[in-house]
Amino acid sequence: DKPERRVAVFGAGYIGLVTGACFAELGHRVVVRDIDPEKVRLLRVGDVPIYEPGLGDLIARNKERLSFTLDLEEALDGAEVAYVCVDTPPSASGDADLSRVWSVVRSLAGAQDLKAVVVKSTVPVGTGSRVRAVLDESGLGHVGYASNPEFTAEGTAVHDFLHPDRVVVGASDETVARLVADLHRGVEGPVVTMDVRSAEMVKLASNALLATKISFINEIATLCEKTGADVTEVAHAVGLDHRLGPHFLRAGIGWGGSCFPKDSEALRQLASNTGYHLQLLSAVIDVNNLQKRRAIQQLNDELGTLAGARVTLLGLTFKPGTDDMREAPSTVLASRLLAEGAEVRCWDPMARPGAAEPWASTTRHPTPELAMAGADAAIVVTEWPQLKEVDWAAVAGAMRRPVLYDGRNLLDPAAMRALGFTYMGVGRP
């Protein structure tokens, strides 16, 4: 006896598509609206414009209840809930650029059946009040407002949506809180309700704390290198303390992606707008940038110079299991290597780096082996499982110099050294 609701989802990106498909799976009638004609065309013929495991099946399975449109009126026709899932990229000032959010919210004026507007896009604390004001000006004073931040990670987004650790709903009144909670009936996880500003803050605070854990272990890794300890052993034992937990303690080349870099900058900016300087978070961001500089420095020290060196990047996406290259460490590494005069080659099973720099100046290879043949050094940038299957013995023989910087601690140092590699991990002796 689930109440079936009519939901209009705005934005057919990672968040909008996962949200729309999952709500359809939960039994609601969903129309996803985007302003990109090519995206909508693909979705209408059953193609999913992004790679996210399980999403294509979910969309296909729910096509009776899920449609895609460019047309605003079609999206709003009968819609009771408008879900705002557009992206909020960083602007030049560091603040999140909310122009897409405003254009959706303004477009809602005249929606006859609307009961609630829910913002899922990551926005600065206080955005809810501004949305409220726009709704009031648009004759939608009777429509409720809620913040429902998303915590799904790419690669597991469908599962995370349907089995979340928590669903956070920030609402100004009971009615809208209950409506959003009801929409999630069938989701396996607790619904936590609070005021709008707190909900907006939960998202930014959660991502900042996750990024902090990673930068923290990365600093410990640097210290491990200097003292002869092994960060993988340290992190494992630290993580067994239930107060700390085992997750997000993998030392490596640093965090990237569509959320951590943007959200940590946005939180820092939000704080500075209030006149407070977030000290920890600034250090967290600095350490993350340092990880990539350290990798380049160590390669440079090993090779003597990077000028003229052939360096292979293994993995381009910000993490495995996605085709997403937003804020990927690989982009920073490629730019720095090219600037140092290196020749950059790369392999990735899924990324589509496009023709912009630095990728226009690099060569793509279809396999890791081909990408490393004749190279002076290779860097594991993304821990794709395929890299475990590489015939490393053959690669050691085929490289001009078998130097390997394992930026994700994916491979076994002793085994790689036994094959003749000069192996460098992050925080491992």
Q: What residue numbers does the annotated binding site cover?
A: 34, 39, 88, 122, 151-154, 203, 248-252, 256, 262, 319, 326
Using the rule CB under 6 A, which residue among 216, 318, 384, 392 binds ligand UDX?
Answer: 318
**Separation of alpha carbons 57 and 24, rounded Å:** 12
**Separation of alpha carbons 100 and 397, rounded Å:** 52
| Strand order across the 363-364 sheet | 363-364, 343-347, 310-314, 377-380, 403-406, 422-424
153 binds ligand UDX (CB under 6 A): yes
319 binds ligand UDX (CB under 6 A): yes
347 binds ligand UDX (CB under 6 A): no
Instruction: Specify the residue, 79 or 211, whose C-beta has the smaller distance to ligand UDX.
Output: 211
**Separation of alpha carbons 135 and 142, rounded Å:** 9
Smallest distance, ligand UDX to C-beta of residue 164, A:
10
423 binds ligand UDX (CB under 6 A): no
Smallest distance, ligand UDX to C-beta of residue 331, A:
12
| DSSP secondary structure string for all residues of 94-122 | SSB--HHHHHHHHHTTT-TT--EEEE-S-
205 binds ligand UDX (CB under 6 A): no
Active site annotation includes 259: yes
Smallest distance, ligand UDX to C-beta of residue 229, A:
18
Using the rule CB under 6 A, which residue among 5, 100, 250, 292 binds ligand UDX?
Answer: 250
Annotated binding site for substrate: 151-154, 203, 248-252, 256, 319
33 binds ligand UDX (CB under 6 A): no
Using the rule CB under 6 A, which residue among 128, 170, 252, 353 binds ligand UDX?
Answer: 252
Choose the catalytic residue: 22, 85, 224, 259: 259
**Size of site (CB under 6 A) for ligand UDX:** 20
171 Cβ contact list (under 8 Å, min separation 6): 144, 145, 146, 147, 177, 180, 193, 195, 196, 199
In the numeric block, which tokens belong to residue 87? Answer: 């992206």
23 binds ligand UDX (CB under 6 A): no
**Separation of alpha carbons 218 and 195, rounded Å:** 35
Neighbours of 50 (CB within 10 A): 17
131 binds ligand UDX (CB under 6 A): no
In terms of C-beta density within 10 A (0-12 exposed, 13-18 middle, 19 or more buried), how is residue 387 classed? buried
Site map 206..245 versus ligand UDX, x via CB under 6 A? -x--x---x-------------------------------
Smallest distance, ligand UDX to C-beta of residue 318, A:
4
Smallest distance, ligand UDX to C-beta of residue 270, A:
17
Instruction: Specify the residue, 145 or 260, whose C-beta has the smaller distance to ligand UDX.
Output: 260
384 binds ligand UDX (CB under 6 A): no
Cα Rg of the chain, angstroms: 23
Distance of CA 290 to the CA centre of its chain: 20
Smallest distance, ligand UDX to C-beta of residue 259, A:
3
150 binds ligand UDX (CB under 6 A): yes
Task: Count CA within 13 A, CB hemisphere, residue 390.
Answer: 28
Instruction: Specify the residue, 161 or 347, whose C-beta has the smaller distance to ligand UDX.
Output: 161
Are β-strands 144-147 and 167-171 bridged in parallel, bridged antiparallel, or unpaired? antiparallel
Neighbours of 18 (CB within 10 A): 27
Interface with ligand UDX by CB under 6 A: which range of 23-31, 100-108, 110-118, 251-259?
A: 251-259
Using the rule CB under 6 A, which residue among 11, 16, 124, 257 binds ligand UDX?
Answer: 257
Neighbours of 355 (CB within 10 A): 6
**Separation of alpha carbons 151 and 284, rounded Å:** 20
| Identity at 111, one-letter amino acid code | A
What is the maximum span of the chain, computed from C-alpha positions, in angstroms?
A: 72
Annotated binding site for NAD(+): 34, 39, 88, 122, 154, 262, 326
Smallest distance, ligand UDX to C-beta of residue 317, A:
9
Instruction: Specify the residue, 170 or 252, whose C-beta has the smaller distance to ligand UDX.
Output: 252
261 binds ligand UDX (CB under 6 A): no
Measured CA to CA in angstroms, residue 390 lies from 312, 344, 401 at distances of: 14, 20, 17
Instruction: Please list the active-site residues.
Output: 259
Binding residues for ligand UDX, rule: CB under 6 A, are 150-154, 207, 210, 214, 248-250, 252, 255-260, 318-319
